[in-house]
Structure 1
Amino acid sequence: MENQKLSSLQLELLNVYSFQPDEEDLFAIRKLLADYFSDKLISRVEQAVSEKNITEEDLNRWLNE
């Protein structure tokens, strides 16, 4: 089996979990991560829509395919 190195994010999360956060803190951390990646995705979609002149109609059609 090949040795796999942990990413910076994985190492940072291990540091957080080493402090034994309670359920409330874990929920808050999960929400922060979800919000961050959601915002990042929305930003990228908005950029692609702008650059490629994609309309709301196009997006709705793709969602329903």
Structure 2
Amino acid sequence: MSAIVRQPLNSAQIEMLSALAQLNSEEDLRALKDALSKFFAERADREMEKLWDEGVINEQVIEKWSKEHMRTPYH
């Protein structure tokens, strides 16, 4: 049996738990999920812009991605 290593929560995790404790309805949960989705989408967009500006990605790279087959093989 492997030992479980317990680490204290960081400040972001504590804030999230505090926010979750305030949810009183499914509507509140949906609103929080929407806000989190928007947050992570904006962060991903900023990172993609950064990679574009640094020349890491360009139209050719994106075209190559569109032709990649990355499905998980199920045998």
Post-superposition Cα deviations, 1:26-62, rounded to whole Å, max 9, x if no partner, equal 1111111111111111111111112116322321321
2:19 to 10, 16, 19: 16
Which consecutive unaligned segments of at least 5 residues does structure 2 have? 69-75
Query: What one-letter code is carried by the residue in structure 2 that aligns with 1:49?
Result: W
Which 4+ residue blocks in structure 1 deviate beyond 4 angstroms? none
Structure with the greater alpha carbon radius of gyration: 2
Q: How many residues in Structure 1 have an aligned counterpart in Structure 2? A: 65
Please report how far the alpha carbon of residue 9 of structure 1 lies from its aligned counterpart in structure 2 after TM superposition: 2.2
Task: State the structure with bigger RCO (CA 8 A, min sep 6), 1 or 2.
Answer: 1
Q: TM-score, normalised by structure 1?
A: 0.79
Q: How does 1:1-65 map to 2 (within 5 A)?
A: 1-52=4-55, 54-65=57-68
Which consecutive unaligned segments of at least 5 residues does structure 1 have? none
Query: Greater helix share, 1 or 2?
Result: 1
